Amino acid sequence: MNRQPSIRIVIADDHPLFRGALRQAVSHALASAEISEVGSLEALTKALAEDADADLVLLDLTMPGVQGFSGLLFLRADHPEIPVIVVSANDDPAVIRRCIEFGALGFLPKTAEMEQMGEAIRAVLDGGVWTPPGIDLSAPVDAEIADMVRRLSTLTPQQVRVLMMLSEGLLNKQIAYELGVSEATVKAHVSAILTKLNVDSRTQAVIAAAKIAGASWATAGASATA
């Protein structure tokens, strides 16, 4: 008999204890799963660059290097082929709907029981979408917000990183240093971001992103100049 390939799952969360709980839930649901753990967006990016054959990522919204939905946006832009389940302590229905709009196929509250975690993991691996019972994904959304969600979803991985850094108040030269690129490249990314978000300035871009995620995005970049 040919051996069936095992399911490969990456747990991305900065809390070791919760990573352990998730690992236990995954092992309970899929005994043969290969599980790896990372504690930051940078570590997740590196892990997927080295081995992009993951079948599922369990993603915390509040890891180091992440603001609001930026980690989800970055991951969906960088690896659109890998299904994502967001795992978060914030189980507000609006947050859950926003995660699905940004491309997650599931949402698990950190208060979920192990059986519920296993149910969500199996559902998404089977090609479905899983959210906590009682969440109405068909609820009408504000047209302006829906349009900005769509626009943010068109950003490339590098553009998401630049927008995150704009939100932190970094100047072009600082962003260039952090990314290891020229200032001209950063200016080109900023210009593309403004075009895609249909705004006139980096301040407006940061405000637009903050509007989507509420208080989750930093708005320090609002005072930065191009």
Q: pLDDT for 166-219, tens place per residue?
A: 888 899 999 999 999 999 999 999 999 999 999 999 899 988 887 766 544 544
- CATH number for the domain running over 8-125: 3.40.50.2300
Instruction: Check: CB of residue 29 under 8 Å from CB of residue 122.
Output: yes
Judged on CB neighbours under 10 Å (0-12, 13-18, 19+), 212 is buried
Dist. CA 105–CA 120, nearest whole Å: 9
Tens digits of per-residue pLDDT, 19-75? 988 898 888 888 888 999 999 988 998 999 887 789 999 999 888 777 778 889 889
Q: Which fold has domain 143-223?
A: Arc Repressor Mutant, subunit A (1.10.10)
Q: What region does 123 belong to: left with phi over 0, alpha with psi -120 to 50, or beta?
A: alpha
**What is the average per-residue pLDDT within 10-21?**
91
Nearest to 205 by CA among 153, 87, 196: 196
Delimit the domains of the chain by residue range: 8-125, 143-223
